[in-house]
């Protein structure tokens, strides 16, 4: 806990700035592309600067949500080697680095409830003895 006394804080009225990150789903360029991918059961590939790959993936997910379908997304380098999130972040910091974003519209996964496992009682530890 900090030493700051929050009881002395007063709240004032404030107007929050408009959200600029949220784009209108009607303007999403991936909606028709993902719809075609889903209908043909074929993947699609785009090449984008690595710094913009996260935004592209977000728009693809929004398109899937708007269409009511699922989507599988894979990011590779230009040699088609799959990139992890950590490596992609490194690429994003590199000037002029490009990546492939592969995606395919799929059926949404059905939610299945997990089985409850019978757990054995844990052995005694020095803290519980």
* Among the ranges given (24-33, 69-78, 110-119), the one the predictor scored with the smallest mean pLDDT: 110-119
pLDDT exceeds 60 at position 128? no
pLDDT at 100: 94
pLDDT exceeds 70 at position 110? yes
Domain locations along the chain: 24-106
- Cα separation, 39 vs 42, in Å, equals 8
Return the structure tokens found at 106: 């799929």
Angle at CA 67, nearest 5°, toward 70 and 111?
A: 35
Token pair 């002395």 is found at: 8
Mean per-residue pLDDT, 51-70? 93
Residues 78 and 101: beta-carbon distance below 8 Å: no
* Nearest by Cα to 36 from 57, 61, 62, 67: 67
| pTM beyond 0.75, yes or no | no
Mean per-residue pLDDT, 7-21? 75
Mean per-residue pLDDT, 29-55? 93
């Amino acid at each position: 806990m900090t030493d700051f006394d929050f009881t002395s804080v007063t709240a004032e009225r404030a107007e929050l700035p408009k959200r600029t990150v949220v784009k209108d789903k009607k303007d999403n360029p991936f909606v028709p592309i993902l719809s075609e991918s889903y209908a043909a059961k074929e993947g699609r590939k785009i090449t984008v600067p690595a710094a913009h790959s996260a935004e592209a993936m977000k728009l693809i997910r929004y398109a899937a949500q708007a269409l009511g379908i699922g989507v599988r997304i894979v990011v590779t380098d230009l040699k088609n080697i799959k990139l992890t999130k950590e490596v992609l972040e490194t690429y994003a910091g590199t000037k002029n680095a490009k990546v492939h974003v592969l995606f395919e519209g799929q059926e949404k996964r059905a939610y299945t409830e997990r089985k409850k496992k019978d757990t054995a009682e844990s052995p005694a530890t020095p803290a519980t003895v």
